[in-house]
Amino acid sequence: MRAQQPDLPAGCHLIALDSVDSTNKEAKAYAQSGAEAGTVVWARQQEAGRGRHGRSWSSPPGNLYLSVVQRPDCRPADAPQLGFVTGVALADALGKLTDIPVALKWPNDLMINGRKASGILLESAANADGQLAWLVIGIGVNVELSPRDLPDVTSLQEEGVTITVEELLSVFLGRLFWYFERWRQEGFEPIRERWMSFALPAGAEMRVRMPDGDVFGRFSGIDERGSLLLGTDNGSRRIDIGDVFPLPPATTG
Ligand code: BTN
The domain segmentation of the chain, as residue ranges, is 13-198, 205-246
Q: Which atom of ligand 1 is nearest to the CA of 46?
A: 14
How does the average pLDDT of the chain come out, rounded?
Answer: 95
120 lines ligand 1 (CB under 6 A): yes
Strand, helix or coil for residue 149: coil
Q: How far is the CA of 24 from the centre of ligand 1 (A)?
A: 7
Q: Is the pLDDT of residue 152 over 80?
A: yes
The pick from 17, 139, 172, 173 for probing ligand 1's pocket by mutation, whose C-beta has the most ligand atoms within 8 angstroms, reads 139
> Is pLDDT above 50 for 87?
yes
- Under the banding of pLDDT at 50, 70 and 90, the label for residue 2 is very low
pLDDT for res 4: 56
Longest Cα separation, the chain:
65
pLDDT in tens, 104-149: 999 999 999 999 999 999 999 999 999 999 999 999 999 999 999 9
Whose C-alpha lies nearest to ligand 1, atom 10? 65
Provide the angle, in degrees to the nearest 10, between the axes of the packed helices 81-97 and 165-186: 140
13-198 is a CATH 3.40.50.880 domain: no
- Give the model's confidence band at 249: pLDDT under 50 very low, under 70 low, under 90 confident, else very high: confident
The residue-averaged pLDDT of 59-72 equals: 97
Is-contact 181 142, C-beta < 8 A? no
Atom of ligand 1 nearest to the CA of 49: 14
Q: Where are the beta strands (DSSP E) in 21-70?
A: 39-46, 64-70
CB 89 within 8 A of CB 170: no
Assign 252 a pLDDT band (cuts: 50, 70, 90). low
50 in contact with ligand 1, CB cutoff 6 A: yes
pLDDT tier for residue 24 given thresholds of 50, 70 and 90: very high
Whether 24 is in the pocket of ligand 1, judged by its Cβ within 6 Å, is yes
User: pTM for the whole thing?
Assistant: 0.95
- Cβ–ligand 1 distance for 6 under 6 Å, the answer no
Residue 20 Cβ contacting ligand 1 at under 6 Å:
no
Residue 170 clears pLDDT 90, i.e. is over it:
yes
The CATH code for residues 205-246 is 2.30.30.100
